[in-house]
Amino acid sequence: MATPQDVINMIKENDAKFVDFRFTDTRGKEQHVTVPISHFDEDKFENGHAFDGSSIAGWKGIQASDMLLMPDPSTAYIDPFFDETTVVLTCDVVDPADGRGYDRDPRSIAKRAEAYLKSSGIGDTAFFGPEPEFFIFDGVEWSVDMSGCSLKIHSAEAAWNSGEKNDGNGATGHRPAVKGGYFPVPPVDSLHDIRSAMVLTLESLGVPVEVHHHEVANAGQCEIGTKFSTLVQRADWTQIQKYVTHNVAHQYGKTATFMPKPIVGDNGSGMHVHQSVWKDGKNLFAGDQYAGLSELALFYIGGIIKHAKALNAITNPGTNSYKRLVPHYEAPVKLAYSAKNRSASIRIPFVASTKARRIETRFPDPIANPYLCFAALLMAGLDGIQNKIHPGDPADKNLYDLPPEEDAKIPTVCASLEEALENLDKDREFLTRGGVFSNDWIDAFIALKMEEVNKIRMTTHPVEFDLYYSC
């Protein structure tokens, strides 16, 4: 584990000129503030760096705005994009009134979830492995004002560009078809080199990468698979992965987005989350039940299924999230589990070793705040274990092609952000155990997200002109 002195040594060895303090807001976006080396020393690790918390959406009001950023020395790395050598430190947000992690700080919430797992006696470590998909476009334009709204995506890989002579690919005709982007070699996959650059950057920053490839959708859908780790570190790595993805794409003159459903009529981007709970070096999810799972793992699944609609508010936190969660686009809307069926919301991957035994929750998407997402999934799973919530029989049929009478018996995820927020409001007790999430945070989160719901609700949409203009 790195120490403050290790950070000081890194600064000296690299002749760093600045230190960048980073933290994550409620929506999951990293924020930062930078200090020159002349104003940085080991005292920052003890006393923190003061900032105005009232300026962060969903945080304290102006009457109680003073907060502290407490840097974690184990997170230090040299930023690969700044002109001047800069050491980056991920921070916890601390309330100076009591010296504790701020109850609305996502990283502090994630730390409390890890502590709650240990205090429960169930396990001592939770491992998480997210798979955030994303799109790389050549450009994107949008406009929203009183005169109307418009959107245009530019992509040389787009199937809709097959009739264009100046599409950026020289009209060569090599591009993925709709739902045809999975694994073709170049030149159909035109983004290999960009992804490779992202991978090399991630590895230079200490984020282990296992694979990269083009994903199913046309117009530049990609995935970079990174290694699993403990809850907080894996959330830290996810934030680094997003930062690198955005900035490498920008260096190539392109633009990357983790938006769940940026294009119509093709697959959206999910963030499947692999999970397991361990104790004393033993994987508690390995056993002799269905697909090699333990009874404890089945109870964990039962907790996620029970609380899925409340979880949706955190794992699928945008209005756009629910344009992905529709049947037939590999979107797992059915609340069931299966070892074979990718239409189920929870899958048990095939593995060769009991150490790798895990579950994969498939409904989250990549605009979810990773600290909040992983913490909420863990709390739901622990509730399932504590209350022995069995998930019922597995679903080994294609859940999209069931007879109506069978289909009606299988619950689904929420169909809108508003529905998810309503369920979070009603089903919150499992999140507040051990003080992991506070009721104050839940209330503030619902209020923040309802602003997004209302903005969409009040904005006239071009499709409405199609539907109603001539009525």
In a domain, 104, yes or no: no
Query: Is residue 360 annotated as part of the catalytic site, yes or no?
Result: yes
Are 229 and 334 within one domain? yes
Number of domains making up the chain: 2
Are 180 and 88 within one domain? no
Q: Which pLDDT tens digit goes with each residue over 255-308?
A: 999 999 999 999 999 999 999 999 999 999 999 999 999 999 999 999 999 999
Q: What is the pTM of this model?
A: 0.96
Structure tokens at 333: 């809307």
Is it the case that residue 144 has pLDDT exceeding 80? Answer: yes
In a domain, 351, yes or no: yes
Are 149 and 224 within one domain? yes
CATH of the domain at 289: 3.30.590.10
Query: Torsion angle of alpha carbons 449, 312, 264, 182, nearest 10°?
Result: 140
Are 168 and 60 within one domain? no
Question: Average pLDDT over the chain, rounded to whole?
Answer: 93
Query: Is residue 223 annotated as part of the catalytic site, yes or no?
Result: yes
Is it the case that residue 61 has pLDDT exceeding 70? Answer: no
Query: Is residue 32 annotated as part of the catalytic site, yes or no?
Result: no
Are 334 and 421 within one domain? yes
- Split at pLDDT 50, 70, 90, the class of 64 is low
Is it the case that residue 165 has pLDDT exceeding 70? Answer: no
The active-site residue out of 131, 189, 383, 418 is 131
> Per DSSP, what are the bridge partners of residue 424?
none
Q: Which of 99, 117, 150 is the last residue of a domain?
A: 99
Query: Is residue 272 annotated as part of the catalytic site, yes or no?
Result: yes
| Residue 86: predicted pLDDT | 98
Are 202 and 330 within one domain? yes
CATH of the domain at 67: 3.10.20.70
Query: Is residue 25 annotated as part of the catalytic site, yes or no?
Result: no
- Split at pLDDT 50, 70, 90, the class of 396 is confident
Query: Is residue 133 annotated as part of the catalytic site, yes or no?
Result: yes
The active-site residue out of 72, 138, 360, 365 is 360
Are 87 and 136 within one domain? no
Are 129 and 180 within one domain? yes
Q: Which of 99, 114, 138 is the last residue of a domain?
A: 99
In a domain, 113, yes or no: no
In a domain, 111, yes or no: no
Are 40 and 87 within one domain? yes
- Split at pLDDT 50, 70, 90, the class of 56 is confident
Closest by CA to 354, choosing from 307, 293, 429, is 293
Are 253 and 305 within one domain? yes
In a domain, 248, yes or no: yes
In a domain, 108, yes or no: no
In a domain, 148, yes or no: yes
| Residue 166: predicted pLDDT | 53
| Residue 53: predicted pLDDT | 81
d(CA 305, CA 362): 12
| Residue 30: predicted pLDDT | 96
- Split at pLDDT 50, 70, 90, the class of 171 is low
In a domain, 119, yes or no: no
- Residue pointed to by tokens 């993925």: 176
pLDDT, average across residues 407-418: 90
Are 323 and 263 within one domain? yes
| Residue 168: predicted pLDDT | 53
Is it the case that residue 55 has pLDDT exceeding 60? Answer: yes
For residue 42, the enclosing domain spans 4-99
Binding-site annotation: residue ranges for Mg(2+)? 131, 133, 215, 223, 272, 360
| Residue 404: predicted pLDDT | 80
d(CA 380, CA 304): 5
Are 87 and 155 within one domain? no
Is it the case that residue 138 has pLDDT exceeding 70? Answer: yes
